[in-house]
Structure 1
Amino acid sequence: MGNFEAAQIYKIYVNDSLLTIASDEAGQTGLQEYSDSLMLRYHGKTKFLLNIVDNLEKSPTPRQIILQTTDVKKLFTEVLTLFRWIEAGGGVVRNKNNEILAIFRRKRWDLPKGKLDPGETFEEAAVREVIEETGIKSVERGALVTTTMHSFRTKRDIRSLKVTKWYEMTTEDMKLVWQVEEDIENAIWIDPVKFLDGEYDMFASIREVVQQYLRTN
């Protein structure tokens, strides 16, 4: 389960919607990220959880469902039973001009990332995937930016949950040769503030990563 054990709030992105699991002690302040957020209490029924995930997958509203409970870890563990767990590493790569590296994949802008190979750490996977997907020759890995969770359906329609640890990285290599076999159609260097200005369509989870990066840089 990675480093989630001590958390009091869990955020799972379902497409562009958000499932937030929070303790009663967290209150309501700061939990609502969308104007149509719906706040519910969990009463111990797994079917209830399944209905919530189904709704977030199939309906554009509400954009966020907040589940509050007295035992956050227990509820999060129950939510995990609905998914196949996948671990991944990714990078927010900065060049000498303080631009970050973005890729265009499957009609959305994204950041380079990928699944862990057997025996790999999150850090190792993040560096390897950045190099493989973008063609840059080397990066220097820095601190952890954030950890995201997002759900998706596999080609066999298996509901999966990908937990991705994102790391700051720097490079002096500006030449990009993107990995076409991974459905990457383009790769660019771009100012991170401009990347968030609305012109570049991306999943909400990717937007959160860049926002967190900007808070610390």
Structure 2
Amino acid sequence: MYQVFVNDKPIILTSVVSEETNFKNYLLDTVNISKVIKELNTTSLEEVRLIHKNPDKLLKKFLKKLPNVVAGGGKVINHREEVLFIYRNNKWDLPKGKVEGKESIEETSLREVEEETGVQGLEITRALDITYHIFKRNGKHKIKITHWFEMKTMFEGKLEPQENEGITKVKWLNEAQQIKAMNNSYANIKILI
């Protein structure tokens, strides 16, 4: 099973058919993805489930429905066990961005965290989940596939929000602050925190 978010509502990719309650089932092979996105954005529907009999083909078939944008990001932890957050578009988020040129996904993740926050001395400690969400750019829907990595740093310098990317704040948040920030964040980020 996979979750692809349209804002904070999930499209669930599954091979299991369940009786509809607060969601709708569609066949993955024949679904009109634009209709599904509109439905999630304009109705009280809580989720949509796209069904395919072969669980191994769910994601591959879904990703062919819209153009893909591959990105990398980081959940950065300092020596005080605080997590690095950015504030963009009036929401708390983790730093991330698109792959450039021939860089690896790890290189993308490290570069984007540094560019968006000013934090240096980053070291990847492990891979985290891959998240999926649908966004609209220039009137067209796309699927962002974000590869996340846990990172650590001993950085003690000044945090610098990348303002030309719409980032207005960068902060280290302790556990209590993270819980509060999740009230104003994205579903994908809540999965990682």
Say which structure is richer in strand.
Answer: 2
3-state SS, counterpart of residue 196 of structure 1:
helix
3-state SS, counterpart of residue 138 of structure 1:
coil
Give TM-score scaled by structure 2 length: 0.89
Query: Could you say which residue in structure 1 is the equivalent of 2:76?
Result: 93
TM-superposed CA distance for 1:109, in Å, is 0.8
Measured against aligned partners, the alpha-carbon deviations of 1:38-60 in whole angstroms (never above 9, x if no partner) come to 1525274233x43222212333x
RMSD across aligned positions (CA): 2.1
Residue 96 of structure 1 aligns to which amino acid in structure 2? H
Query: Could you say which residue in structure 1 is the equivalent of 2:93?
Result: 110
Query: Could you say which residue in structure 2 is the equivalent of 1:172?
Result: 154
Q: Does 1:10 align with 2:5?
A: no
Residue 140 of structure 2 aligns to which amino acid in structure 1? I
In the aligned structure 1, how far is the partner of 2:55 from the partner of 2:26?
11
8 Å Cα contact 2:116-2:161 kept in structure 1: yes
Gaps of 5+ in 1: 1-8, 29-35, 211-217
8 Å Cα contact 2:82-2:175 kept in structure 1: yes
Identity %: 29
In the aligned structure 2, how far is the partner of 1:172 from the partner of 1:76?
37
TM-superposed CA distance for 1:95, in Å, is 0.7
Q: Does 1:139 align with 2:119?
A: no
Measured against aligned partners, the alpha-carbon deviations of 1:2-53 in whole angstroms (never above 9, x if no partner) come to xxxxxxx1210111110011123xx76xxxxxxx741525274233x43222
Q: Does 1:184 align with 2:176?
A: no
Match runs of 1:175-214 below 5 Å = 175-197=158-180, 200-210=183-193
Query: Could you say which residue in structure 2 is the equivalent of 1:52?
Result: 36
8 Å Cα contact 1:39-1:68 kept in structure 2: no
8 Å Cα contact 2:69-2:142 kept in structure 1: yes
Return structure 1 stretches of 4+ with deviation > 6 angstroms: none
8 Å Cα contact 1:112-1:129 kept in structure 2: yes
Give TM-score scaled by structure 1 length: 0.79
